[in-house]
Chains A and B, each alone.
Chain A
């Protein structure tokens, strides 16, 4: 409730921070579907974000369609991509899947840079809509929507199917889970929300070019946030996104290099001491106390 009311009381820069973070949280949450629940760590969700951005931009700039249609177009592009490329790529496991999606992300940047309708390298400029408050509410609404989707997944037959795939894909198959269908659905769902985030972002900053729209760094950010917060949990990625964004923002005002360095150190420490994220830490700290951290190391060291 408080969060929804924020635009009316907070300062402009805080609202801007809010919009960015809400969109990042949506990305982290969308990654959660394919990476956290299905266990397929995609390093290429930035593609969906970019497709959403470009879908919206092209619809509005080249064809003069309203924003809503643009968003829908972006989402359709992303889902189509997820289905068509998901089928072959989701056959890969573990590292290979991660690398393949990363490679796809790189390829997309180069391809879009050479396509005329997308404005090639110079990019596109969208019509301006004043009022950050509106974008804030849109981003907020999207995050709520995505989180509700995750909530539904966690308590549904679909979600159980995804988790069984994550935990042991072969066992899932012999129990009757249609692993291919479910993986592609998860991928498409993940892409859907990421694309919507991309569309909103494009309209908000009104300028789009291939490298920033398909920003590879986004992949990393959303994964770190989701994993730090707790992959496979409902609120984990959101908490992770806000926490890490917040701290990074505070540090940025001090020394910008330090913010990046901070991220790196946090990742390293988190992977060693709390590999299952904050959500798991929260749940088990009551039981184990400080031993939780030592236990994680003990179980995973050579």
Chain B
């Protein structure tokens, strides 16, 4: 079966700076692909280019046979691409429930046009991530870990076929990390393919079916986690960085 996401030769150049250089890989259906690399390697840039937040200087991105090249972010979202942001972007003045409802109203296929039904879906997603007790609070009142949960719930409410997660575990303690890992696995079991950026090594090791390593905007390794993490290039890239 053809892969869900096909990235070929993706390149991003800012004035004088090459953020991403000729990156190619595939994401299979039902797979969890971990994306790692030192800070500044270009991981978030890559996700931005897949979700449409940033335009590509060069290269192709194909999602389920669809060429994403000229599609604006909202059209890609409606194709079924969901993402979370590393620097979280809640809707601060709206309630937690309404935050998630937006995802249900506008997600894959244009979302649900029925507001009460969308809010019910939102409720379910809040249950799933463990935020149901805060449904009526304003999003701005939420603390760090809860905001991460909200990000995830919003993306899930879209009913995506592929989820791009950008450091959902930063700043969480060990217990919370375990909970998130379990959540992500459950999401995959529902049939959603996932691309995860993470710095917490233990988590990414247990989550990922495969790993992809970026360094200075280039892909330097790809394959099974145990293999990749022993690759001398990868180790060198991380020399001096923390290992969990």
A176 and B89 form a contact (CB under 8 A): no
A160 and B52 form a contact (CB under 8 A): no
A167-204 CB mask vs B (1 if < 8 Å, else 0) is: 11011111111110000000000000000000000000
Q: Which residues of B contact A166 (CB under 8 A)?
A: 93
B91 and A163 form a contact (CB under 8 A): yes
A146-168 CB mask vs B (1 if < 8 Å, else 0) is: 00000000011100110110111
Q: Which residues of B contact A156 (CB under 8 A)?
A: 115
Query: How many angstroms between the C-alpha atoms of A156 and B103 in the bound complex?
Result: 14
Q: Which of A155, A170, A179 contacts B115 (CB 8 A)?
A: A155
Q: Which residues of A contact B91 (CB under 8 A)?
A: 163-164, 167-168, 171-172
Beyond A168-B89, A170-B53, A170-B89, whether A175 also contacts B103 by CB under 8 A is: yes
Q: Which residues of A contact B51 (CB under 8 A)?
A: 174
Q: Which of A155, A160, A176, A179 contacts B78 (CB 8 A)?
A: A176
Task: Report whether over half of chain A's contact residues are helix, strand or loop; otherwise say mixed.
Answer: helix
Q: Among B83, B92, B103, B110, which residue has the most Cβ atoms of chain A within 10 A?
A: B103
Shortest C-beta distance, A39 to chain B (Å), equals 9
Q: Which residues of B contact A175 (CB under 8 A)?
A: 74, 77, 82, 102-103, 106-107, 154-155, 158
Query: How many angstroms between the C-alpha atoms of A164 and B122 in the bound complex?
Result: 15
A160 and B93 form a contact (CB under 8 A): no
Q: Which residues of B contact A167 (CB under 8 A)?
A: 90-94
16 A–B pairs (Cβ distance < 8 Å), ordered by A? A157-B105, A160-B105, A161-B106, A163-B93, A164-B94, A164-B102, A167-B91, A167-B93, A167-B94, A174-B53, A174-B73, A174-B77, A175-B82, A175-B103, A177-B102, A177-B106
Closest B residue by C-beta to A157: B105
Closest B residue by C-beta to A178: B74
Residues of B within 8 A of A (CB): 51-53, 72-74, 76-78, 82-83, 85, 89-94, 98, 101-103, 105-108, 110-111, 113, 115, 118, 154-155, 158
Q: Which residues of A contact B154 (CB under 8 A)?
A: 171, 175
Q: Which residues of B contact A164 (CB under 8 A)?
A: 91, 94, 102, 106
Q: Among A163, A168, A170, which residue has the most Cβ atoms of chain B within 10 A?
A: A168
Query: How many angstroms between the C-alpha atoms of A178 and B75 in the bound complex?
Result: 8
Q: Which residues of B contact A179 (CB under 8 A)?
A: 74
Q: Which residues of B contact A161 (CB under 8 A)?
A: 102, 105-106
Interface size class of A (residues with CB under 8 A): 20 to 34
Shortest C-beta distance, A284 to chain B (Å), equals 11
Shortest C-beta distance, B21 to chain A (Å), equals 25
Q: Which residues of A contact B107 (CB under 8 A)?
A: 175-176
Q: A160-B115, A176-B77 are in contact. List 16 more A-B contacts (CB 8 A).
A: A160-B105, A161-B102, A163-B94, A167-B91, A168-B90, A168-B91, A170-B53, A171-B85, A171-B90, A173-B52, A173-B72, A174-B51, A174-B53, A174-B82, A176-B108, A177-B74
A157 and B74 form a contact (CB under 8 A): no
A160 and B74 form a contact (CB under 8 A): no
Closest B residue by C-beta to A177: B106
B52 and A174 form a contact (CB under 8 A): yes
Q: Which residues of A contact B78 (CB under 8 A)?
A: 176
Closest B residue by C-beta to A276: B93
A173 and B102 form a contact (CB under 8 A): no
Shortest C-beta distance, B63 to chain A (Å), equals 14
Shortest C-beta distance, A168 to chain B (Å), equals 5
B74 and A176 form a contact (CB under 8 A): yes
Shortest C-beta distance, A81 to chain B (Å), equals 25
Q: Which residues of A contact B89 (CB under 8 A)?
A: 168, 170-171
A157 and B77 form a contact (CB under 8 A): no
Q: Which residues of B contact A173 (CB under 8 A)?
A: 52-53, 72-74, 77
A172 and B83 form a contact (CB under 8 A): no
Closest A residue by C-beta to B81: A174
Q: Which of B83, B90, B92, B113 contacts A157 (CB 8 A)?
A: B113
Q: Which residues of A contact B108 (CB under 8 A)?
A: 176
Q: Among A161, A174, A178, A179, which residue has the most Cβ atoms of chain B within 10 A?
A: A174
Query: How many angstroms between the C-alpha atoms of A173 and B77 in the bound complex?
Result: 8
A176 and B110 form a contact (CB under 8 A): yes
Q: Which residues of B contact A157 (CB under 8 A)?
A: 105-106, 111, 113, 115, 118
Query: How many angstroms between the C-alpha atoms of A179 and B52 in the bound complex?
Result: 14
Shortest C-beta distance, A103 to chain B (Å), equals 28
CB under 8 Å from chain B, chain A span 264-281:
none
Q: Among A176, A179, A232, which residue has the most Cβ atoms of chain B within 10 A?
A: A176
Q: Which residues of A contact B85 (CB under 8 A)?
A: 171
B158 and A176 form a contact (CB under 8 A): yes
Q: Which of B93, B101, B111 contacts A176 (CB 8 A)?
A: B111
Closest B residue by C-beta to A169: B89
Shortest C-beta distance, B77 to chain A (Å), equals 4
Query: How many angstroms between the C-alpha atoms of A221 and B118 in the bound complex?
Result: 37
Query: How many angstroms between the C-alpha atoms of A155 and B108 in the bound complex?
Result: 21
Shortest C-beta distance, A185 to chain B (Å), equals 14
CB under 8 Å from chain B, chain A span 214-248:
232
